[in-house]
Structure 1
Amino acid sequence: MSERIPVRTVEASPQIKKVPARPMKAKHATSDNQIFTRSFTGLFRTLRMSGAGFLFLLFFGTVWLNWGGRQAVLWDLSESKFHIFGATFWPQDFILLSALLIIAAFGLFAITVFAGRVWCGYTCPQSSWTWIFMWCEKITEGERNQRIKLQAAPWSLNKLARRAAKHTLWLAISVLTGLTFVGYFTPIRPLAEELLTLQIGGVSLFWVLFFTAATYINAGWLREAVCMHMCPYARFQSVMFDKDTLAISYDAARGENRGPRKRDVKPAEAGLGDCIDCQLCVQVCPTGIDIRDGLQMECIGCAACIDACDSIMDKMNYARGLIRYTSERELQGGKTHLLRPRLIGYVAVLVVMIGALALALVERPMVSLDVTKDRGLFRENGQGQIENIYTLKVINKTQQRQDYNLSLVDGDGFQLQGKTELSLAPGEIVDVPVSVAMTTERPASSSQTLSFKIADSDEPEVYSVAKSRFVAPMNR
């Protein structure tokens, strides 16, 4: 006869009261799940608005700057050139752009390991534009309670006027955003003039309207849905978190049991924690979650709940920090380890990659040389020598006119024929046809490597080398 495992009844501990997830969802959102956020003030809101203001100034202002008679920052698709103030980058330099994107990715990994989704809450374009659109709602439709009432009210002239004003502001910001974004790829001044005079070309008009619609829909209508359902960052952030990651968290040990009370009532005497269950942290959340339910995928790390909770703690004369940036280890009674192997590894790799990119930018050759061999294999010239025909593509990447010399590297047994001295204007591209004759009687091989070199006449250390093949018959 087999033994049975004894069973005993275990009653739940009365110390911590379990609160259902999102108990005030109905108050925070309407029946169609539209979220109405409440206005608030605080340190983190100030930091976020200041940072977003700087980024908006950078985005909308940089495109109008001029440098050396041209737009300072312009990705000229028609000429395949990317201007960044005094530097000009070409398709051959796009590997540097790839390196920059990899550095940005590692930077995002490092900041996520250290402080969670601060990118999402403070600098993500989706979040930044959403806050601006929410501000438009506030000044046209009123505060949170007024917007809820307006949503439920039947259509009237007042409702129509307020909605029209809101959508007019949304569209104005969206058009300006679309125009500015396209202006980084097409000169902004003629583009803006063409748009205002309704003479804009079909391709430019399409992209302006495309990014206008994307901004209007994402920041005005989708909002938190983009963060929760479309952004991949929310899915893989948990892989990067560890017990020492600083994330926005609710201190349940201090806050429970939660419940309302008068200001002069001491929580311990009433058997309560510091949380008065005011729901303000839920009402200010742009994604509509209750941070007291624990870390959730929908949390974008904007710290709105921290500002809201701190304001209540101040009114109740309680210590701030019931909701705060903290780590799982600290919530469990331990001490957060800011410096840890994973974070140090990310930072070390990041520093190395930034250093390598800086070195590559400094050492980037300011002259480019590409070689294209003629389709014909070879030919015999008037002196009975075997010749191969090539086209050399030379690009002056500097902002001044430069003189160059063409030559062969280690060209024993070969002679370069054609134009070998060039003068190129800033950013000029020229195709130079040349031929190479074999001066030896018998080739060492039917196919040999040739190295062409273009060097600055005044600064020989500025040069570029490109290789090609020389083909000759073996039975001469």
Structure 2
Amino acid sequence: MDPQKKPAAAQRIKVKTADPTPVDRFNPRNRIYVRKTDGVWTQVRRRMGWIMMALFLCLPWLPWGERQAVLFDLAERKFHVFALTVWPQDLILLAFLFMMAAFALFFFTTFLGRVWCGYMCPQSVWTFIFIWFEERIEGARNKRMKLDQAPWSWNKVWRKTAKHSAWLLISLITSLTFISFFYPARELYLDFFTGQASAGIYFWGAFFTFATYGNAGWMREIMCLHMCPYARFQSVMFDQDTYIVGYDGARGEMRGPRGRKQDPKALGLGDCIDCSLCVQVCPTGIDIRNGLQYECINCGACIDACDDVMVKMNYSKGLISYTTERQLAGGRSRVGRPKLVGYGLALTGIFAAFLYMLMTLAPVQIDILRDRNQLFRENRDGLIENVYTLKILNKTERTQQFILTVEGLPEHHWLGQQQVQVTAGEIFTLPISVAVDPYLLEQAMTDIVFVLKSEDGLLNANADSRFISKI
């Protein structure tokens, strides 16, 4: 083996033990008090959170004709997304959607780490919203810590009551909004608050309310650290060129306090003043200076806090930044690496297939089933007769009149209904027979096409089949 070449295992990111002292994160006394910070990445995360929340809250109220624009009607087994209506027969689209989500997860995690967790994950978005209300009612980090340690008083009672009431209100709105994607929003709110809703609506309303209240209000980082599977398998997708929140140890060490006018080099110190603000603003409570840790959700809060300190100390920004392990080691990151390109090509291919299927989604569909008991039969008139069962699916929003014909057979006779009425969403089953004079057939098996057309001529569908004779 060439001593200049390192084995594949040596190229992996080394695992670092951040803190050998176990911390019971389930103990309320060890709860994390997140300090408020401001900066570029905090503003980006906050604005994205509000945009996601606005979309979530407003989508069920957008009208589309006589219904709401987005409605997943489980009772009627159809999903409405603006002009598109997806039926159970089209659920292959859902499979492609899941595959797209999976490969998008692989691609963006390999490229940008846990950026989904920090900026768009509902758990993070709702947690930051709950923290925002907590700061407005109970005060800044130090005030919240003192309030929790103080004995019960009127000040503590009303602040705690107001905070938890706000949390429950947000949770209830979240719950009803989520249910509104599956039940018409206008009917839901009217029935819910007038006591006319079903027991199922009240059950799921209570369930999602307390789930949101518990996850974003109490469990918070516990969900990210101990319950979310993404946090566990993300390391499989990381490599030395994955963009992570990283601390430049070569520049920051040795860390220690000093005055603004003191020269850190003369004191034998690096740029880190050991203020611990990066730890105080972290929603999962880790110290990013200990290296890459699976608990980091790439939210960038510690970057904003550190940059603010660097500006005050007249140092250069970027002691903590979005970087890669290769850059931290003094190398140059590679973007176009095979794994990332492979994920990107797979994601593009799946998206193209999904888009094609979406664009070719037919509003009507016809399936043909041949009689399996008898390939053909000769009737009393001496004609060769084949029996078929036609299944017509009307995926439009109204009742349609359809006319049926068959192409590919000379001078054939259609035995059965040739004009049918199919209601919206109905699968209409129609048994028919097609008969032909055997002297007009040139071969034992003839390819034919069943043609379905609406009465107004706007809708049509075809289905291939075969006509079998005794030749």
How far apart, in 1, do the equivalents of 2:27 and 2:182 lie? 41
How far apart, in 1, do the equivalents of 2:377 and 2:209 lie? 58
Residue 349 of structure 2 is aligned to residue 347 of structure 1: no
Residue 271 of structure 2 is aligned to residue 274 of structure 1: yes
Q: Is the 8 A contact 1:29 1:36 kept in 2?
A: no
Q: Which one of 358, 363, 367 corresponds to residue 360 of structure 2?
A: 363
Which 10-residue stretch deviates more, 379-388 or 217-226? Answer: 379-388
**Counterpart residue number, 2:132:** 135
Q: Which one of 235, 244, 247 corresponds to residue 250 of structure 1?
A: 247
Residue 169 of structure 2 is aligned to residue 200 of structure 1: no
Which 10-residue stretch deviates more, 335-344 or 176-185? Answer: 335-344
Secondary structure at 1:392's aligned position in 2? strand
Secondary structure at 1:368's aligned position in 2? strand
**Cα distance change, pair 338–410 in 1 and its aligned pair in 2 (3 A):** same
Q: Is the 8 A contact 1:407 1:420 kept in 2?
A: yes
Secondary structure at 2:44's aligned position in 1? helix
2:389 maps to amino acid: Y
Residue 114 of structure 2 is aligned to residue 107 of structure 1: no
How far apart, in 1, do the equivalents of 2:179 and 2:429 lie? 35
Q: Is the 8 A contact 2:60 2:185 kept in 1?
A: yes
**Counterpart residue number, 2:71:** 74
Q: Is the 8 A contact 2:364 2:459 kept in 1?
A: no
**Counterpart residue number, 1:406:** 404
1:105 maps to amino acid: A
**Cα distance change, pair 153–381 in 1 and its aligned pair in 2 (3 A):** farther
Deviation, 1:456, is 4.5
How far apart, in 1, do the equivalents of 2:459 and 2:181 lie? 34
1:308-323 equivalent positions in 2, closer than 5 A: 308-323=305-320
**Counterpart residue number, 1:284:** 281
**Counterpart residue number, 1:259:** 256
Residue 323 of structure 2 is aligned to residue 326 of structure 1: yes
- TM (norm. structure 1) is 0.85
**Cα distance change, pair 283–411 in 1 and its aligned pair in 2 (3 A):** farther
Q: Is the 8 A contact 2:191 2:197 kept in 1?
A: yes
Residue 388 of structure 2 is aligned to residue 393 of structure 1: no
1:418 maps to amino acid: G
Q: Which one of 412, 416, 431 corresponds to residue 418 of structure 1?
A: 416
Deviation, 1:369, is 2.5
1:300 maps to amino acid: I
How far apart, in 1, do the equivalents of 2:458 and 2:348 lie? 32
1:230 maps to amino acid: M
How far apart, in 1, do the equivalents of 2:360 and 2:18 lie? 60
How far apart, in 2, do the equivalents of 1:291 and 1:96 lie? 41
1:214-253 equivalent positions in 2, closer than 5 A: 214-253=211-250
How far apart, in 1, do the equivalents of 2:225 and 2:464 lie? 49
**Cα distance change, pair 380–207 in 1 and its aligned pair in 2 (3 A):** farther
**Counterpart residue number, 2:148:** 151
Query: RMSD of the TM alignment (CA)?
Result: 3.4
Residue 186 of structure 2 is aligned to residue 189 of structure 1: yes
Q: Is the 8 A contact 1:369 1:466 kept in 2?
A: no
Deviation, 1:389, is 6.7
1:126 maps to amino acid: Q
1:193 maps to amino acid: L
How far apart, in 1, do the equivalents of 2:370 and 2:173 lie? 48
Q: Is the 8 A contact 2:368 2:463 kept in 1?
A: no
Deviation, 1:404, is 3.2
How far apart, in 2, do the equivalents of 1:29 and 1:463 lie? 59
Which 10-residue stretch deviates more, 301-310 or 209-218? Answer: 209-218
1:115-134 equivalent positions in 2, closer than 5 A: 115-134=112-131
Deviation, 1:352, is 2.0
Deviations 1:112-161 (A, max 9, x none): 11110000000000100010111121112111111111111222222221
Deviations 1:85-120 (A, max 9, x none): 111111111111211121121111111111100000
**Cα distance change, pair 450–229 in 1 and its aligned pair in 2 (3 A):** farther
**Cα distance change, pair 340–66 in 1 and its aligned pair in 2 (3 A):** same
Q: Is the 8 A contact 1:414 1:436 kept in 2?
A: no
Deviation, 1:62, is 0.8
Deviations 1:402-440 (A, max 9, x none): 553323465679754322234557x45252433225556
How far apart, in 2, do the equivalents of 1:160 and 1:382 lie? 93
**Counterpart residue number, 2:171:** 174
**Cα distance change, pair 193–449 in 1 and its aligned pair in 2 (3 A):** farther
Q: Is the 8 A contact 2:446 2:467 kept in 1?
A: yes
1:390 maps to amino acid: T
How far apart, in 1, do the equivalents of 2:51 and 2:387 lie? 57
1:310 maps to amino acid: D
2:278 maps to amino acid: C
Q: Is the 8 A contact 1:454 1:464 kept in 2?
A: yes
1:70 maps to amino acid: R
1:405 maps to amino acid: I
Deviations 1:216-271 (A, max 9, x none): 11111111111111111111111111111110000000000000000101111110
Deviation, 1:371, is 5.3
Which 10-residue stretch deviates more, 338-347 or 412-421? Answer: 412-421
